[in-house]
Structure 1
């Protein structure tokens, strides 16, 4: 059974990256920057989550499918990915540690996902998120 989750999500190479953070921190801007680098939108500020075979899947929310809020421009239409297995959670956090030894753990509906906190005010935030996916993201089979 799926449920709504307040988070953004993009798909990179068939692996989902959930994006969390407080209002106004830059979740949609990160998604937009990642899309510019080749990711595909799953959802902006709302996705549907479902656990299947011990894996978390994110899918577009039916009420906002294909829409991404671009600050100062409004809600714009983007191509959207279908359901994607989630490999990493990114928490945008101005108190994020400078160095980490390992990803933190985030539990969603009984499934543990790796989570990395990233400082949101970086001009290379999308690159950092992609590197976190490469280094700490789950391998999807």
Structure 2
């Protein structure tokens, strides 16, 4: 890794060229949310460890080689998954913070010098579907 790389304890998926970084404490549901998003059409980038690399076009996500193409399914074990070798970071979900607002403010987080939308966890069965639609179409400012 170069000085413009980060290795995070996070999972990542991509849908229609827009990558979503899923961050949270151990046991917070990163892999479970990634699996739900994959069931809705997203593709795995990495599970549990994600390498972020900055270049002139933004921040790119990838998996460390030993875990590429693998995701943990609680109660089943490590399972294989088609994975994207890398994806541009479009937004981040923080599973450690619960969204309390019905219509939350637009939040951003700076990662390696680039600002991306920051979303908080929503305790709802349609949260993964909402994230899929967010990745497809964004949201109104």
Q: When the two structures are superposed, what TM-score results if normalisation uses the length of structure 1? A: 0.86
How far did 1:11 drift?
0.6
Cα deviation digits, residues 36-92 of structure 1 (max 9, x gap): 111110001111110111401101221211110000001111111021111111112
Secondary structure, counterpart of 2:132 in structure 1 = helix
Give the alignment partner of residue 127 of structure 2, picking from 125, 128, 137: 125
On the 8 A contact 1:20/1:92 being kept in 2, the answer is yes
The whole-number CA distance in structure 2 between the counterparts of 1:29 and 1:95 is 16
How far did 1:102 drift?
3.5
The whole-number CA distance in structure 1 between the counterparts of 2:75 and 2:97 is 23
The whole-number CA distance in structure 2 between the counterparts of 1:118 and 1:95 is 5
The whole-number CA distance in structure 2 between the counterparts of 1:52 and 1:58 is 11
* Number of equivalences: 136
Deviates more, 1:84-93 or 1:94-103: 94-103
- Find the counterpart in structure 2 of residue 57 from structure 1: 60
Matches within 5 A, 1:82-97: 82-93=85-96, 95-97=98-100
- Find the counterpart in structure 2 of residue 102 from structure 1: 105
On the 8 A contact 2:40/2:132 being kept in 1, the answer is no
Matches within 5 A, 1:68-79: 68-79=71-82
When the two chains are superposed, the root-mean-square deviation of aligned CA atoms in Å is 1.9
On the 8 A contact 1:66/1:79 being kept in 2, the answer is yes
The whole-number CA distance in structure 2 between the counterparts of 1:25 and 1:89 is 15
